[in-house]
Structure 1
Amino acid sequence: MHPFSFTKVSDTREALNAGQRGGRYIAGGTTLVDLMRETVERPDTLVDISDLPLRDVTVTERGGLRIGALVRMAEAAAHPKVRTLYPVVFQALELSASAQLRNMATIGGNIMQRTRCTYFRDVSAACNKREPGSGCAAREGFNRTHAILGTSESCVATHPSDVAVAFAALEARVHLLSPDGTERTVAFADFLLRPGNTPNREQAVRKGELITAVEIPALPRPLKSGYLKVRDRQSYEFALTSAAVALHIRGGVIREAKVAVGGVGTVPWKLPAVEHRLIGERASDALWAEASKAAAEGARPLQHNGFKVELLQRTVERQLRIVGGGK
C-alpha cells in the first residue's frame, strides 16, 4: 500500500472542498481499501464522508424512492419501503455479498465499485482500465467470467454490482453535488460508462462531485419484481449471469416491463428488445421463452465464455416466469 493522508469530514461543504483538491471519498471502504492493498489504487488523500447526512430512505412526492448514498446495503435491504415497493432491489442487495460486507458497504460505494477482473487486479498484467494503452490480457487469457455484451477491443471486464442491475432495470437516476454547489441528476443508463476506447473512465462523475442519492422513479402499480443470480456457488460469489425483472400486469396483459441483466455486460445491461416483446402480450410460458431469445442480441463471446449466451437466455426466461407466472 502506498502512503496516503487521511481526513474525516463532518459536513458536505468540507467534503466537496477536499474532493475538489483531489481527495478520494471513502465511506465503507470495502472495495477501495482492497484495491489500495493490491496497489491498483494509489490515492494521495482519502476523505472519510461516513458522517455526512446522506443516510435516509424516503418516498418521493410522485411515489418513487430516494435512497441516500451513505445508506448501508443491509439497511437498504431491510427498509420496509424498499421491500414493499421494489423487491428486486432488496433481493439484489441480499445476494450481493456476505453479511459483514453488507453491514459496511454503502449504496453510493456499491455503484462506484470497480471490476473484479483478475487481470485488472494483477498489476503485472496488461490492463487498459488500470493503465491506458497497455493492452487487455483478458481478451486472449482465461476469460470465462468476462463480458459478452458492451465489450470493446480495449476491455472485456464485467461490472460486478448486483444492485446496479436492479437500478438499471428500474431506470433509476443518480443525484450528484458538485464543488460549486450545483446539483444534477444522471440517468443510471448513462452513469456507468461502456469501455469503448477509454475503459479507465468508468462513471459519469466529474472531479470532486459527490453522489448524494439514487432515486427510483414511481412505476405503475401493481408492480411485481425480483432478482435472480446464477453463480458457480451459492455462497458469496459474483454472478455468471443475473436478471432483474419488473412487470406491471393488469387484466392478464403486460402493460409495462423492465428487464436488465448482470454478469454478462461491461455495465448492467438493459434489454429493450425483451421489454418490447413483452408489452401488450398476455403472460404465458410461451411468451417468456420467446421474449428471452432476444436477451443475447449483440453478444460477442470470447474463447472461454460462449456458454454465457445460452445461460443468459435461460436466466432471463426463468426470472420472467418467476415474476410473471406462467401457464
Structure 2
Amino acid sequence: MRTFDYARADTPEAAVAGFAQTGTRFIAGGTNLLDLMKLQIETPTRLVDISRLPLADIEEREDGGLTIGALVPNSDLAADKRVIAKYEMLSRALLAGASGQLRNKATTGGNLLQRTRCNYFYDTAAPCNKRAPGTGCAAIGGFNRIMAVLGTSDHCIASHPSDMAVAMRALDATLVTLRAEGGQRRIPIAEFHLPPGDTPHIETVLQPGELITHIELPPPPAGRQIYRKVRDRASYAFALVSVAGAVSVEDGRIASATLAFGGLGVMPWRDPAVERALIGQAPGSPAFEAAADALLAPAKGHGSNDFKIPLARRTLISCLRHLTGTSL
C-alpha cells in the first residue's frame, strides 16, 4: 500500500470541502477501498474519513417510505424492523451479501459504490479498461464465468457485485448527495450507475467530491416480495444470478410488477420490458416465458458465462411462480 495523508471530517460540508485536493477519496467502512489500496488498484494520496458523520439514522417518511443515512451499516439496515416488515427484499439482499463481519462495517452508501470483482480488474498484470483505460479487456476471450451478459460493450464485460443495489433498483430508491460546490442533488438510482460503453472506468454519475448522504425509499411496492440469489456456495459468494422484486395479483391478473437482476448486468439491471410483459396477464405460462424472453433477448454470453442465460430464465420463472403463488 502506498503512503497517503489522512483527515477526519466533522461535518458533511467539511468532507466535501476537503475533497478539493487531487487524489482524495472518501473512506467510511472501507471494506472495498482498503482491499483495492493494498493491491495498488486504487492509489489515493489522501483519505477523508467520513465514518463519524451523523449519517447513520433510518427515519420514516411522511409518504410511508424511509430515509436511510449513507453510513447505516448493512447489518443494522438488514435488521431494522421497518425494513423487514416493508422492504423484505432489501433485508434479504443485505443478508445474502458477504459475511457478518463485513456487513457490520460496510455502509449503505459504500455498498452502492462497490467495484467489480472481475479477476482481471484485480490482476494488475492483465489489461483492463476499467482499471487502466485503453489497455483492453482480458475478460473478453478469457475466463469470464462471473462476468455480465447484459449491458456489456467491446470495452468491458465486468458484472456489478452488489446485492443491496439490486434490491434498491427494484425499489426505485433515490440517492441524495452533497456536492463539492455546495447544494444537494437527488439522483434516481435508475440514473446512478453507468453502462461501460467506451468509458468503463466511469461507473456512476457522481462528480469529484460529491458525497452520498442519504438514500430515500418510496412506499413499498404492492404484493409479495422476493430476493433470490443463485451462487456457487451458500455464503460469502457473489451472485451468478439474483432476482429482487415484487408482484401483485388482482382478479386473476398481474396488477403490478417490479423486478431487478444481479449477476447478469454491468450494473444493477432492470428492464421495463420485463414488467410490461407481465402486467395484465394471467400468472403462469405464457406470461412468465414472455418476461424471460424480454429480459434475455439482448443477452450475450462470452464463452464460460454462457450458462448464465438459461440459468437466468429458470431463476426468473421460479421467482415469478413464488411471487404469484402459481404451482409448478
Q: TM-score normalised by the shorter chain: which range applies?
A: over 0.9
Match of 1:225 in 2: 225
Aligned sequence identity (%): 46
**In 2: Cα distance, 1:89 partner to 1:220 partner:** 12
CA positional deviation for 1:69: 0.5
CA contact under 8 A between 1:295 and 1:316: conserved in structure 2?
no
Question: Which has a greater percent of helix?
Answer: 1
2:114 maps to 113
TM-fit CA distance, 1:249: 2.9
RMSD, matched Cα: 1.4
TM normalised by structure 2 equals 0.96
Task: Return the offset for 1:141.
Answer: 0.8
User: Quick check: 58-67 or 307-316, which moved more?
Assistant: 58-67
Runs of 4+ in 1 over 4 A off after TM superposition: none
Partners of 2:87 and 2:220 within 8 A in 1: no
The alpha carbon displacement at 1:88 in A equals 0.5
* Structure 2 counterpart of 1:245: 245
Task: In structure 2, give the amino acid aligned to 1:42.
Answer: T
1:176-215 alignment, distance < 5 Å: 176-215=177-216
User: What TM-score, normalized to structure 1?
Assistant: 0.96
Contact 2:224/2:246 (8 A) holds in 1 = yes
Q: Which residue of structure 1 aligns with residue 303 of structure 2? A: 303
- Between the aligned partners of 1:305 and 1:39, the Cα distance in structure 2 is 28
- Match of 1:260, SS state, is strand
Could you tell me which runs of 5 or more consecutive residues in structure 2 were left unpaired when the two chains were aligned: none
Counterpart-to-counterpart distance in 1, 2:259 and 2:102: 27
2:221–2:246 Cα contact (<8 Å) kept: no
- Counterpart code for 1:46: L
Q: Hey, what's the Cα distance between the residues in 1 that align with 2:153 and 2:33?
A: 25
> Residue by residue, what CA displacement relative to the aligned partner does 1:211-254 show, whole Å, maximum 9, x if unpaired?
01111222454x32110000111121001111111123334432
CA distance in 2, matches of 1:271, 1:189: 10
Question: Per-residue deviation at 1:303?
Answer: 1.5
Cα offsets for 1:170-195 (capped at 9, x unmatched): 22111111123211111111101100
Partner of 1:275: 275
Shift of 1:323: 2.1
> How many angstroms apart in 2 are the aligned matches of 1:58 and 1:250?
31
- Distance in 1 (alpha carbons) for counterparts of 2:148 and 2:188: 22
Letter in 2 for 1:326: T
1:85 aligned partner: 86
Q: 2:268, 2:56 → 1: CA distance?
A: 24
1:151-162 to structure 2, matched below 5 A, reads: 151-162=152-163
**Distance of 1:152 and 1:284 partners within structure 2:** 34
Gaps of 5+ in 1: none
Q: How many Å apart are 1:283 and its aligned residue?
A: 2.8
3-state SS in 2 of match to 1:82: helix
Distance 2:232 2:285 in 1: 26
Whether the 8 Å contact between 1:154 and 1:196 is mirrored in structure 2 is yes
Residue 286 (structure 1) shift:
5.3
Partner of 1:287: 287
In 1, Cα distance between equivalents of 2:252 and 2:173:
26
CA distances 1:40-63 after superposition (whole Å, capped 9, x unpaired): 000001111011111111222211
Amino acid at match of 1:76: L
